[in-house]
Amino acid sequence: MAQKPTIPKGTRDFSPSEVSKRNYIIETIKSHFQYFGFQPIETPSFENSETLMGKYGEEGDRLIFKILNSGDFLKKVKDDLYSEKDSLKITPKISEKALRYDLTVPFARYVVQHQNEIEFPFKRYQIQPVWRADRPQKGRFREFYQCDADVVGSKSLWQEVEFVQLYDAIFSDLGLKDVTIKINNRKILSGFAEVIGESDKLIDFTVALDKLDKIGEESVKKEMLEKGISTEALQKIDPIFSLQGTFAEKISGLKNILADSEEGKKGIEELEFIQRAIEEMPLQTASLDLDVTLARGLNYYTGAIFEVAAPEKVKMGSIGGGGRYDDLTGIFGLKNMSGIGISFGLDRIYLVLEELDLFPNEAQQNTTVLFINFGEKEALYAMKAIKKLRAAEVNAELYPDEAKMKKQMNHANKRDIPFVVLAGSKEIESELFTLKNMKSGEQFSVSVADLIGKVK
């Protein structure tokens, strides 16, 4: 009664090689999160549905995976409602839990639920999978990891500086040079809308502006017109499109454009603070760029907005993003808790490192030494040495069966194991081991101690 085994679409199995490389990225990110003073939390994979529903918009609600209640779940559904056969209406009656959609809402829930145990400002990181019932496509999965670091309980602009430094530290450590950390500020965008007299169309305005890279100036303006932004306003906007040059030059341009907006000037001040601090503490390999078209989830952010672009030679788009939000925990009843956070796109970072061949050899977790099995007596002799190698933190194993020599050597080759040890009766007599370097083909006759030294 064999079943043909498959996995659900949009999900993935990870092979040893893939897990090792993913862990290399995760461990690198984690180390720097910790150097920067962030502490780990973990939340359950599923939350009560009311915790998640309504937090991501209508589209988000649709994409949340719901878990069916256990037992006789239909019993609770009243006959009237049941007879309507309406999937949307029946869902809350037969499903009370849902898989988390991101790490941010669970984090907000965590902060509010545990506010009395938490010492603020609270710097937390969280690296866990999330699930979305999105249509799977290249690079978009139904289960994927998010790597988030956030601080809640401080409005200090040093946090913005810290996050720029953190991005730089991590991408530098991953060997991924020349990423661009784009920064903007919600207050700049509000300022634009204010000075062109379209504050009520802030969202339409920024959604269109956000597309500048992709569709160009003319199309952006066309979209703005279609959304009801006036021709007069569009004329006032023109200087935005010609903002160019260094960070400082763009700031100076902004000062002209936003001269009449208090909000805009506040945004400029914040950007200048960050820029000054980064000048004093130069980045290792990343560069900081002011991008006034950057909006991301605008409704959400209230101050700084970040996005990290992979090096230009790789066509990948954003590999990280984040920003400041002033009222995240408000949805759960805890007011006045300013937060700021960033996220790392694990899957995309993986693809970039792969494309640029940046995974170090150490990222490939593997067995270092395979001992050939010549029979029970020889195997015991081998196992005693293996025990010593492992105590010295060397990954070592015995080929479990007394198979033909060729088969055992093939096994080592197929698994890319760099060293093989042969120990037959001759070696046992002289208390030595024959060590073979599988790459060079060299062979050495060595003691256990020398064996450890050679393979480490």
Map the footprint of a copy of itself across residues 112-151, applying CB under 8 A.
112-114, 117, 119, 121, 123-124, 129, 131, 133, 143, 151
90/225 with CB nearer a copy of itself: 90
Distance of closest approach, residue 428 Cβ to a copy of itself, in angstroms: 13
Distance of closest approach, residue 101 Cβ to a copy of itself, in angstroms: 13
Per CB under 8 A, contacts with a copy of itself among 303-332 are 330-332
Per CB under 8 A, contacts with a copy of itself among 2-21 are 2-8, 11-16, 19-20
Binding mask 254-293 for a copy of itself (x = CB under 8 A): -----------------------x--xx------------
Distance of closest approach, residue 323 Cβ to a copy of itself, in angstroms: 16
E-state strands within 68-203 = 97-99, 122-131, 143-152, 180-185
What pairs with residue 122 in β-bridges? 152
| Burial of residue 428 (number of CB atoms within 10 Å: 0-12, 13-18, 19+) | middle
113/180 with CB nearer a copy of itself: 113
Q: CB count, 10 Å around CB of 439?
A: 9
Distance of closest approach, residue 392 Cβ to a copy of itself, in angstroms: 9
Work out whether 46 is an interface residue with a copy of itself (CB under 8 A).
Answer: yes
Contact 16, 365 (CB under 8 A): yes
74/248 with CB nearer a copy of itself: 74
Out of 93, 102, 154, 358, name the contact with a copy of itself by CB under 8 A. 154
Number of residues that bind a copy of itself (CB under 8 A): 114
Taking the CA of residue 55 as centre, how many other CA atoms within 13 Å lie in the half-sphere pointing to its CB?
A: 25
Work out whether 447 is an interface residue with a copy of itself (CB under 8 A).
Answer: no
Distance of closest approach, residue 315 Cβ to a copy of itself, in angstroms: 27
Contact 317, 349 (CB under 8 A): no
193/398 with CB nearer a copy of itself: 398
87/256 with CB nearer a copy of itself: 87
Structure tokens at 125: 């990181």
Residue 108: closest CA among 157, 165, 148: 148
50/249 with CB nearer a copy of itself: 50
190/275 with CB nearer a copy of itself: 275
Residue tagged 């000048």 (tokens): 279
Per CB under 8 A, contacts with a copy of itself among 332-361 are 332-333
Sign of the dihedral through C-alpha 202, 207, 208, 212:
positive
Per CB under 8 A, the segment of 153-161, 228-236, 239-247, 429-437 that binds a copy of itself is: 153-161
What pairs with residue 308 in β-bridges? 181, 320
Per CB under 8 A, contacts with a copy of itself among 26-45 are 31-32, 34-37, 39-45
Instruction: Give phi and psi for 42, each to the nearest 5.
Output: -135, 140
Distance of CA 262 to the CA centre of its chain: 35
Per CB under 8 A, contacts with a copy of itself among 69-88 are 70-75, 77, 82, 85-88
H helical segments located in 328-418:
346-355, 376-391, 405-414
Out of 26, 90, 203, 356, name the contact with a copy of itself by CB under 8 A. 90
Out of 78, 313, 404, 414, name the contact with a copy of itself by CB under 8 A. 414
Q: CB count, 10 Å around CB of 121?
A: 16
Out of 24, 29, 56, 65, name the contact with a copy of itself by CB under 8 A. 65
Contact 53, 61 (CB under 8 A): yes
Sign of the dihedral through C-alpha 21, 23, 25, 31:
negative
Q: Name the 3-class secondary structure at 100.
A: coil
Structure tokens at 430: 């002289």
Residue 26: closest CA among 421, 353, 425, 297: 353
Per CB under 8 A, contacts with a copy of itself among 228-247 are none
135/255 with CB nearer a copy of itself: 135
CA dist 250 and 272 (Å) reads 11
356/363 with CB nearer a copy of itself: 363
Work out whether 169 is an interface residue with a copy of itself (CB under 8 A).
Answer: yes
